[in-house]
Every structure is written in C-alpha cells, then in structure tokens.
Amino acid sequence: MDVKESNTGSQTVIRIFYALVTLAVGCGLAFFVYGNVTNEDAKFPFKLGLDLAGGSHLIYEADVSGIAPEDVPELMNVLRDVIERRINVFGVSEPIVRVESSSFVSSERAERLVVELPGVTDVAEAVAEIGKTPLLEFRLLVSADSDGNPTYADTGLTGRYLESAQLQFVGQSGQGGLSNEPIVAIAFNDEGAKLFEEITRENVGETLAIFLDGALISAPRINEAIMGGEAVISGNFEPDEARDLAENLNFGALPVPISLVSTQTIDATLGVGVIEQSYIAGIIGFALIASFLILWYRLPGFVAGVALLIYVLVNLAVFMIVPVTLTAAGLAGFVLSLGMAVDANVLVFERMKEEYRAGRKSRAAADEGFRRAWSAIRDGNITGLISAVILFWFGTAMIKGFALVLGIGIIVSVLSAILITRTLLRALPDVASESSGFWSFLFGCGLGKR
C-alpha cells in the first residue's frame, strides 16, 4: 500500500506540474501577444490586409495581342512574380498581386493584374514603385517608312528571358586619354540564350536594337553569331543611370507591356471599424461560450474555458510569427475555428459524462471520454481541414485568407483539445460519482447523476 500510495502521489505531482507548465505557457503567450499589439515597434506585429489597414488598389492591363494564347498564362504568372518581387524589394508590406482573365466578355482576351498594397495610401507612390520596373525588348532594324523613320521587327526576345544584369565599365581611347564608359552586361537563361544565338546567326550584318519601355537605348550591329547568352546594353549612360538600370533589370524586367487602367485608395477607417467590431464580438462570444460551459459542466467547463483562452492566444501568436495577413474574411475563419474548438470539448465532456455516471471516477472518466471522443474529433477536423485546403487551392485572394486562418485554427484546436484540456483535467482531484461534498458539486450538473 505504501508503494502504491507513493506512486499515486508521484503521479499527482507530475500531473500538477504539467498543468502548471501549460498555464505558464499560456501566460507567456498572453504577454507576447499583448506586447506585440501595444508596441508600435514590435518585432511581430499583426499583418492586416487591404480591407482592414487601408491602402492602394491598382489594376493594370497587359498587352498580350502579339503573344500566342498558349503562352499567355505562363507570361502572366511571370509578370505577377516580377511585380510582387519588385514591390517587396521596395518595402511595401504584404502586397497581394493576382492575375485576372476576362476572355469571355469580348472577342479579345483581356488579361489584368490586380495589385493591392496595404498601408500605402499614396497612389502616386504606388504607381511609381511599379513603374520603375522596365520592359526590355530586342528588335531588328527592318527598313524605313515613307517618312524615313526606321521600323523594327519583333524578335520575341524580351526581359522574360533575362537571368542577370551587371554594371560594368569599359575603357575607351580618346583625345582626353583613357575613360570608362558605364554599360550594363546582361545574361539570358538557357531558353533566352538559344533564342539570342538564333537571332544573331540569322541576321549577321543587321542591327539589333535594344528598347527599354519602348525607348531606343542602343542599336548595335550584329557582326557574328553570339553564343553563351550574353549581351551588352550601352547608351551613353551616366554611372548612376547604368546602375539604376542594372538594379531594375535584376529586380525583374516585365515580360509583357502593362498599362494602368484603374486606381483606388481605400481608407483605413473601415478597417478600424471592422477590427473594433470583431474585437467586441469576440469578447462577447467568448464570454457567452465560457459561461455556457461553466454553467453546464461546472469545473470541467471552467477548464475548457481556460483551454479555449490559451487556444486563442496560440492562434494569435501564430498569426504574428508566420505572419498571416488578416482580412475581414480571415477573422470570420478564426471565429469559425473557435466554434470547432468548442465542439471538440463538448464531445469529450459528453463522453466523460457517460463514463462518470457509469461509476468511473472523474479522472478515469476523463481519460475514457477522450478515448471515445477522439474518432469523432479526428474525422470532423479532417473534413474541415480538407475543405480549407480546397478553398485555399481554388479560391480567390479573399477566400484564401479565410481558408488559411481556418486551417491553422483547426490544427491548433485539435492540439488544444488533446494537450491543453486533457492536461488540465488530469490535474484535478479524482472524484467518484457517488461521493458528496464540494468537489462532487463541481463535477455535477451536466456531469452528475441522472
């Protein structure tokens, strides 16, 4: 008996220790979230979407008239990546860049690029950031028109094939001695190198003009076939101009021309209102849920309320660290995941109630309740997670935000039910259903006798 009592006492100490560690982690998360919310210079602030933070909404139309239809989707994806990379380099936080097609509206295919820049309310600044990305084209000099102006033939070689651009200085002999002319040395990828070699081999003696955003900057003569995919852009640049050109090309030359067709500035006032309403609704909803759990399940319900609070803190910490861009739709997904987390606790407590009424003590009833409820919790959350993945894979930007937050919430809710709620329940006193007194009352009501 002494050994058995000693083992029981040791197990009780271990259970209490795990429960205290869980509560300590919850307190740490609370301080982490509170510190990052209240500190303007926080390392992990919330990332708010355009509908909450305000910002600029731009729509560009891409000119794909000279491109084969089968190549358009790939080029638009390249264009999206280029613009997104360009914006990120210049410090615009959490941009959203997506492609929209509207080929069925008219006989001509329309390809648009939608750019959302949260926090950037100066449309002119946003347009300038994107406008810094150049369109690089190589064209052959064909002939002169009736007015004597030269015309150029499209070769298909554009910035989409560009791999790198570097500023270099080339020495030139002149009356003033040796001088350094700034040039930009560019290198194409494998596909571009083959195309460049083919163009130069078939047009030896011709002029291959280099255009940047439609402006002629260099017109070198092709003396021989050029292999290796390397070329030089020279245009009497100043050193700063050549350096800026190299940087812009490295940030991404546009594969197709684009034109700005719509701009909109979204005021953050709407976002502030949504956040405040969501905050109030969250507090009221959580208070009602916790009240119901406590009134019906008493002490286990209070444990579930603590577990749900830690669940909320874990989610908020994940949103900060990942980081997840929060939108109004994302907040809806978070609220929905909270409901699923409550559902897991209810399933456990109902199974626990049945075991407790059957004569098991509270601790054994809790263990058996988790075991019996696990299959229902697992299946329900797996189906919810599959739905979130499908929505994220096929949905629009707004739906993706909802699906991402919902998916994170589902995963955390399962861990919350298995780890947090169970750990805290196992640390409670082991009470028999037929006993009387204070502890029996706390385990009563929804868990009591019929």
pLDDT in tens, 2-47: 445 555 667 778 888 888 888 898 899 889 888 887 887 778 877 7
pLDDT tens figures, 302-323: 888 888 888 888 888 888 887 7
Which residue in this structure is represented by tokens 């613009």? 83
H-helix or E-strand spanning residue 57: strand 55-62
Nearest by Cα to 300 from 101, 445, 147, 409: 445
Judge contact between 204 and 225, C-beta under 8 A. yes
H-helix or E-strand spanning residue 377: helix 362-394
Q: What pTM did the predictor assign?
A: 0.60
Q: Is the pLDDT of residue 281 over 80?
A: no
- Confidence band, pLDDT 50/70/90 cuts, at residue 178: very low
Rounded to whole angstroms, the Cα distance separating 68 from 34 reads 54
Q: Is the pLDDT of residue 105 over 50?
A: no
133: alpha, beta or left, given left = phi > 0 and alpha = psi -120 to 50? beta
CATH class as words, domain 56-265: alpha beta
Q: Give the pLDDT of residue 167.
A: 86
Pairing of strands 208-212, 162-174: unpaired
Q: Is the pLDDT of residue 175 over 50?
A: no
Rounded to whole angstroms, the Cα distance separating 433 from 359 reads 6
Cβ neighbours of residue 220 closer than 8 Å, sequence gap 6 or more: 207, 208, 210, 232, 234
Write the CA distances from 210 to 79, 154, 184, 207, 266, integer angstroms. Answer: 20, 11, 12, 10, 39
2-49+267-447 has which CATH code? 1.20.1640.10
Q: How many CB atoms lie within 10 A of CB 403?
A: 22
Angle between helices 72-89 and 123-131 (to 10 degrees): 120
Q: Where are the domains of the chain?
A: 2-49+267-447, 56-265
Q: What is the mean pLDDT of residues 402-422?
A: 84
